[in-house]
Structure 1
Amino acid sequence: MSTTAKLRVIFDDLTVRKLILPSGIPSTLQDLKLVIQSTFSTPDGFCLMYQDVEFGGQLFTLTSIEDVQDRGTLKVVKVEPVIVDLCAVEESDGVSSTSLASQDTILLSSSSDESPLSQPWPRNVEIGETKEAMEEERVVLLTEVKKTNNEEIIREKMEKTFSYRRLEVVNQMPSVPDVMARWPALFYESQVKEEFKRITTIHLDQTFLTKMDLYTPKLLTIFKTKGGTAGTKINSVLESLSQKQIYSHDAVIRCLIHFLGESAEELIKDYQDVSKDVIEQDIKDHELKILVLGSAEGVSPTDVIIVIDEPPSLSIYPSPLPLVVPGQAVTVQCEASGFVPLSLELAWEFVGADGKPRALGQGSVSGHRQALDGTYSQSSRLELDSAKLGLGRGGEVSCVAVHKGGTRKAKVALNVIGVSAPSIEDSMAMVAVALGLYGLIKVFSWTFSSAEREVIKEHALP
């Protein structure tokens, strides 16, 4: 007697059905497709994909019935038919459609419809976006992320520059601060999900919650066997939900934290009917915390706040600085971006030839700007006048950002020319140049003098 099999069938993001097979899994892939068609009234023209547990549940095209397992997951993917409208085209070398037809060639009649599919294939096909064009799009994105209510434009441009960004990350392997500076939108919650989908073709939220639901029964069984202090905390969480007979994702995560020997209280803090001022004050006292806001115990939370102290990324413009002469002023700007919370102190330092740091003040500090991901940015501008500030022959100019998440520093070199007496090396070089010029002058002088004497002699002869 065959064993009844069950399959989870995904049709789209909102439609997931259960398929019961009383006779077990069919022996052929075609029979399985016929069962799906008859059970769910699925129109013809689709292919099947299956989740492979060896690759973390990623989807693969189903080509063998051996890959279908009981309680496995399949996805129905509609295959759109490809319609090609061919038409006869006059060739430039004089070969007409009539002459082609006479050579046992069947030609389809041209359509009267002037749609693009009925037109000849263009001879010059434009190739995709260039590297320079993609870099221009990236620079435009840096401006777009500073605007409000701009999620759709950001999404479109992030989608357009995906291949360029992916190539950069894989080949150059930049640091996280560099990625944040070049692609700040990549750290938005919405774009984290979108980028995950672009790379894996999997919905992050849906996949995570689906997997959690799949493993929740087994996890609950394991949780209930835990003893000691961790077991007591786990039972307290489960008992608070036992009356509703519903184990929420929140409860499973809390139990998992306790099961692993960690303290959920150190990571998660619950608020019930607490004023906004109290919450804002508590945020200042935490560097990493998940705040769960609710109106009453046991009720689904109304909001969740994740507190992360993120230090700023610093950039100095222009870099490198141009050469300056005494009395000439050059303006330098420091840009701090991607930091939370808001509190930030910006200052400038200078280190000369003596190696001692010297404070140059805060400069002209701008107001803060908040990006769509909730992080802040701020800038400081400083006018460097080597004569007024006593910067000598130059040195190293630094922008220092002091933040709750850590201190960051960016540096740039300042070179001042024509300030003091030349060094020994410079003096030797100038002497060598002077001797060379002197020798050259002597050669020209000797040559012209000899020529002049010859001319005098010729005129003196009778």
Structure 2
Amino acid sequence: MAEQLKLRVLVADDDFRRLDVPSGMPRTLTDLQSTIRQAFGIERDFRIQFMDPDFNNEFMNITSMQDIQDRSTIKLVYMANLDTSASLSKQYPTCSLDSSASPESIQRNSSLSSSSSNSDSTIILPQSDSELRSCAWPREFTIPRFSFNVEVQLQRGNETFRETGTRLKITPGVKSDILEKLAEAIFQFTAYPQNYQIDEVAGALIKKFPCLQEPSATGYYGWMISLKYKMANYRTKMRNIGCPEVTINALKNKSSDDCLPAKNVKKPKKAEVNFCPLHPAGETDDSLENIRVELLTDVRRRNSASDVRQKMSRTFSYRRQEVVQGSPTAGEFKARWPALFQINEVKACFFC
């Protein structure tokens, strides 16, 4: 039986309440939100923050359930009450620990500065499919579900391993299915996993299915090598269907000086999640370029803050591809995107 979970919940200013979850830690943030709604009768939309001991107990947005421990303090941040002193605030999605589920897109909310007299200070843009991912690498990687026939073989293999210690003899087809599912799950977090991430995935696989152990020091060295090759093949597959995050590293998109597969590979930095997202549905480079041209006029007009915010959010993917692929200088970028250097957009960098 799961141990009972006890949480200290900041429901509102100076309103701390105790939350007891007899069934233990919820599987996903969505489940935790539902539990909180039922316990306290909350109908409004909210996101959850946790008190992070690594940052002087400041409240941070939760990205996975590993952020929460028993007797932790969490805080509810309501969507309608986001700080209007910030020019932009984002509505963060809930990220499931089930890595086989596709991550939801981030919804961007724009708001006027506190000096604005506009009562409708927050603009919630419609959810877009333009972002490839919204969750950083989890603290504990969750192995996805494989096809039914593979799951049956692995479960029987585990039973035999526990009884006799005999490892499962897998066929090439079963191994290919396992690697394909793992590559798909890894790609939801990063297209270019580092060695320690590959190690974590292979270790999690052996932990869940000990019948797959190998006669090596770690028990999964061969799985690590196979995963590295599979990820390379999976990137090729995604490049062929036009995924921009890997397309930018294709040889045809490199200069003659960098025309080598392993040279100048563009990857997201540690703090970046949506490194090079797809364009919003229905948009192309030409349509987004037209919006960029309109922005040049909008930034010079009064009372155009709402239009500027919407168009800047709409052109985010276009702007990212320009930065990642073109590497423009600050002066060139300011000339093309003057709205990005306005006070509202500068503040957004600190509140997003």
TM-score w.r.t. the length of structure 1 is: 0.25
Bigger proportion of residues as helix: 2
Q: Whose RCO is larger (CA < 8 A, sep 6+)?
A: 2
Larger radius of gyration: 1
How does the TM-score come out when normalised to structure 2?
A: 0.32
Q: More strand per residue: 1 or 2?
A: 1
